[in-house]
Amino acid sequence: MHTEQLVSTFVEYFHERGHRRIVGSTLLPPPGDPVLFTTSGMHPLTPYLEGSPHPLGRRLVNVQRCLRTTDLEEVGDATHLTVFEMLGTWSLGDYEGPLSLDWGYGLLTECLGVDPGLLHATVFAGDSQCEPDHASLELWQDRGVPVELTVEDNWWSNGPVGPCGPDSEIFLWSGDCPPESTPTQDDRWVEVWNHVMMRHRRLGDGSLVPLPQRNVDTGLGLERLASLLQGKPSVFEGDVFDPWRRLVPPLWRLDEPSLRLVCDHLRSAVVMLGDGVRPANTGRGYVLRRLLRRVLTVLWREDPSYSVGDLPDELVQHTLDHFRQHMSPAEVRSLLHDEERRFGRLMERGRQVLARPRFRGRLTEEDLHYLHDTHGLPRDLITNLRHG
Ligand code: SER
């Protein structure tokens, strides 16, 4: 099943169950939100989860692009991407968790053809502040889906304070043999869909108070589920990455881990540029700068003549179209190229400065500060130049 088809099947299924589709936001969270990027579908909906009436009602469905830097070191494995899309549904004080889980089970097994024997669920086991999630446990037992109970892994929050609640996660078996073990013990169980019973608010002192309404917030990792349904061993082999795998290898000779990192980060960089982020030394711009520097470090390790300015227009356009962004591929390429030149100059300066006798031995904290403050050389770049 093609990714676009998966999106329409999902939206239609929930539309038939009374959900109205809302347009996803950009990667930039609404003003006043403390985080740099939208990290999940519920993000732009926070005021409505907290009780403000949503103009489209109490049942919503959407597709939201998200960016997570917490998973940066995991990018390149089978399931993590920096920018990814989340299919989401919400009950804003309407139906309860078990119905949401049951619909989730129905969509996966009846509409998407997932073998029920390949599913596993996890459920909140309870802690000193909140009781176990009996209702979710019963639902899964009724459907014959095995359940693992956990505490921390089944509590969802977006930060130390704010809306939160117990969740029930649905995992799909990705192994070549019949399913075994449990999600926390075996990473061949891939988490695809999280259903959060979002009905609490965490206060600054750590205590929990009820939200004005009992919500359900669900998020399904689109690229993950698509690649599993397509029988592919990783998200990088799913259809979303088809053009990348076709066009990047002839351009740059890279091993598989480097190819994955380069494709993930460049694709993410295009989406960030399309949403208006520009490279900078702080905030969002710095995240973009770091992604591009990681790409360039990998490319130049292989061959110093490789340039991101050579990224084919077709790839940039494919990404911009997918995310419905209106920017010209030429402008994207020129911004990438400017950033590359800037990094190239910085590397050159770094090499010259680090060649001085004073910096040949082990660098002290004071040296690192001096190199940063006087020569603009960030710590990770120095590490790269000395060990790269
Ligand atoms: N907010 C939950 C998550 O990010 C479900 O959408 O997993």
Provide the residue range defining the domain that includes 312: 238-387
For ligand 1, is residue 217 a contact (CB within 6 Å)? yes
* Single-letter amino acid, residue 117: G
Cβ 28 vs Cβ 275: under 8 Å: yes
Confidence of residue 377 (pLDDT cuts 50, 70, 90): confident
Same domain flag for 62 and 168: yes
Nearest 5°: CA angle at 334, between 293 and 27? 65
Average pLDDT (327-337) is 96
CB atoms within 10 A of CB 145: 18
pLDDT band per the 50, 70, 90 thresholds, residue 388? low
Which H or E element spans position 264?
helix 256-274
* Residue closest by Cα to atom 2 of ligand 1: 219
Instruction: Return the structure tokens found at 5.
Output: 């088809």
The stretch 340-363 carries a mean pLDDT of: 91
The pLDDT of 154-182, averaged and rounded, is 95
Pocket lining: 219 vs ligand 1, CB cutoff 6 Å: yes
| Together in a domain, 273 and 330 | yes
Lowest mean pLDDT among 43-57, 70-84, 143-157, 190-204: 70-84
Alpha carbons 330 and 124: distance in angstroms, whole number: 49
Tell me: pLDDT of 134 over 90: yes
DSSP of 139-157, one letter per residue? HHHHHT--EEEESGGGEEE
Which protein residue has the closest C-alpha to ligand 1 atom 4?
40
Query: Tokens 């020569």 belong to which residue?
Result: 375
Same domain, yes or no, for 227 and 251? no
Query: Atom of ligand 1 at shortest distance to CA of 86?
Result: 6
| Cα–Cα dist 276/285, whole Å | 10
CATH number at residue 168: 3.30.930.10
Residue 382's pLDDT is what? 85
Ligand 1 proximity of 148 Cβ (cutoff 6 Å) = no
- 385 pLDDT band, cuts 50/70/90, is confident
For ligand 1, atom 3, which residue shows the shortest CA distance? 219
Q: Are residues 147 and 279 both part of a single domain?
A: no
Shared-domain flag, residues 309 and 339: yes
Spatial separation of the C-alpha atoms in residues 128 and 155, rounded to whole Å: 13
Question: How many Å apart are CA 371 and CA 354, to the nearest integer?
Answer: 9
Return phi, psi of residue 40, to 5°: -160, 165
pLDDT tier at 380, thresholds 50, 70, 90: confident
Same domain for 13 and 123, yes or no, is yes
Query: What total of structural domains would you count in the chain?
Result: 2
Q: Are both 165 and 266 inside the same structural domain?
A: no
Same domain as 266, residue 208: no
Share of the chain above pLDDT 90, in %: 84
Tell whether ligand 1 has an atom less than 6 A from the beta carbon of residue 196.
Answer: yes
129 contact partners, CB below 8 Å, separation of at least 6 = 207, 208
Give SS3 for 20: strand
For position 72, what pLDDT does the model report? 75
How high is the mean pLDDT of the chain? 94
The reply to whether 196 and 245 lie within a common domain is no
CA–CA gap between residue 268 and residue 286 (Å, rounded):
13
> Are residues 169 and 71 part of one domain?
yes
- SS3 for 112? coil
Residues 220, 248 within the same domain: no
pLDDT of residue 104: 98
Q: Which of 206, 231, 256 is the last residue of a domain?
A: 231
Give dist(CA 362, CA 368) in Å, integer. Answer: 10
Domain boundary among the residues 212, 231, 250 is at 231
Q: How far is the CA of 41 from the centre of ligand 1 (A)?
A: 7
Examine the domain organization and report whether 15 and 129 are in the same domain: yes
User: Of 182, 206, 231, which residue sits at a domain end?
Assistant: 231
195 C-alpha to ligand 1 centroid (Å): 7
* Residue 41 CB–ligand 1 contact under 6 Å: yes
Please measure the distance between the N-terminal and C-terminal CA atoms of the chain and give it in whole angstroms: 41
Residue 75, class by beta-carbon neighbours within 10 Å (0-12 exposed, 13-18 middle, 19+ buried)? buried
Interval between CA 345 and ligand 1 midpoint (Å): 41
Closest by CA to 306, choosing from 233, 232, 264, 253, is 253
